[in-house]
Amino acid sequence: MANDNPTYRAIEKYKKKTYDRIELLVYKGEKQKIKEYAERKGKTVNGFITELIRKEIEKEDS
């Protein structure tokens, strides 16, 4: 369903131009565990996962 709100459309256009999407599948119940852990670390789930990936890449590149 499309949203006719101009602000929403502008945000979606910006996100499409600026970001790539990665779909991540986890077993039932894991999403909540990951979310709670990330929150305890003061991060969003996206921020937490992105940080882990960046650290792993940096470790390999060193």
Domain boundaries, the chain: 21-61
pLDDT at 4: 85
Are 45 and 35 spatial neighbours (Cβ–Cβ below 8 Å)?
yes
Predicted confidence (pLDDT) at residue 15 exceeds the cutoff of 70? yes
pLDDT at 62: 86
Reported confidence tier of residue 32, pLDDT bands at 50, 70, 90:
very high
pLDDT at 1: 54
Pick the closest to residue 38 from 25, 51, 23 (CA basis).
Answer: 51
